[in-house]
Structure 1
């Protein structure tokens, strides 16, 4: 029973962490649209902390699943949570099923949100590249000087101030 309770707690913790990551992903979308890179960096840092936590919780969850699999069916390979639920005590079955469904819903939402964020980042990158190319073409001038030494007809472009 202890392992079942641990599995339930770990699944709930994983759900909670992914819900927080989903909230941060929505914040990232808003910050990408608003063009606030400093705030975006803060959100990304928060997301990284949560992702590390999710990995730790998931490793612990997989260990419990492996232990339960060996106890129940003597399986050398771990069963999935869905397969394990069939062997769960009756008071935990419903809760594990609900947590699993909620987790799937959150993960699908996270996948959709990440795809949208990816598109926004790609769009922003195209704009940045366009601006770089535009600025570069304005600065580009001849890379040589007139052969006759007549520099009065030679136009110098000085858009950068190199003075320290």
Structure 2
């Protein structure tokens, strides 16, 4: 394994996370419009991207571990910093740039997902408020005689039905 294989996997991760960012941005308009079928389709596509990102990250970890083993360094949780120790100056600069791009994409994705979550919570509050306004409350539908007070018990011993009928 070489540093080139690691950089290719990092580039693939950046591309995947960029696609996830685009999908997260598209969710905003779909949530605002209330277009549930399109939102469901987007979420399914997003789930595929997440699985692809997980597989690529797993492959990256494996390649980094193999690279470090080939250099005689045995570590359980291999990091990019350990790879940089064995890389040339040019490779190190490229790894630094790719690492920064990936971190930027991850921060953007995290921020967009937080905004989407807030938007969904606001939408749910609006739906609940609308339902509360449309559904009558118990005190709104219980009728009393005009001379009846609120503190009187409801059970007066009289039946609502005429048993002689």
Q: The TM-score by the shorter chain falls in which range?
A: 0.7 to 0.9
Residues 73-106 of structure 1 deviation map (CA, whole Å, 9 limit, x = unaligned): 5223233113321211344222221111100001
Structure 1 CA distance for aligned equivalents of residues 34 and 112 of structure 2? 17
Q: What residue number does 1:55 align with? A: 54
Segments of structure 1 that go 5 or more residues without pairing to the other structure are: 151-164
Residues 102-150 of structure 1 deviation map (CA, whole Å, 9 limit, x = unaligned): 00001000010000000001111111222233333269856xxx83437
**Counterparts in 2 of 1:1-164, with a 5 A limit?**
2-137=1-136, 141=141, 147-149=159-161
Deviating above 3 A after TM superposition, structure 1's stretches of 4 or more consecutive aligned residues are: 138-142
Change (3 A) 1:36 1:107: same
> Are the counterparts in 2 of residues 22 and 110 from structure 1 also a CA contact under 8 Å?
yes
> Are the counterparts in 1 of residues 21 and 108 from structure 2 also a CA contact under 8 Å?
yes
Q: TM-score, normalised by structure 1?
A: 0.78
Aligned length: 146
RMSD of equivalent CA atoms: 2.2
> Which shifted more, 17-26 or 133-142?
133-142
Q: TM-score, normalised by structure 2?
A: 0.78
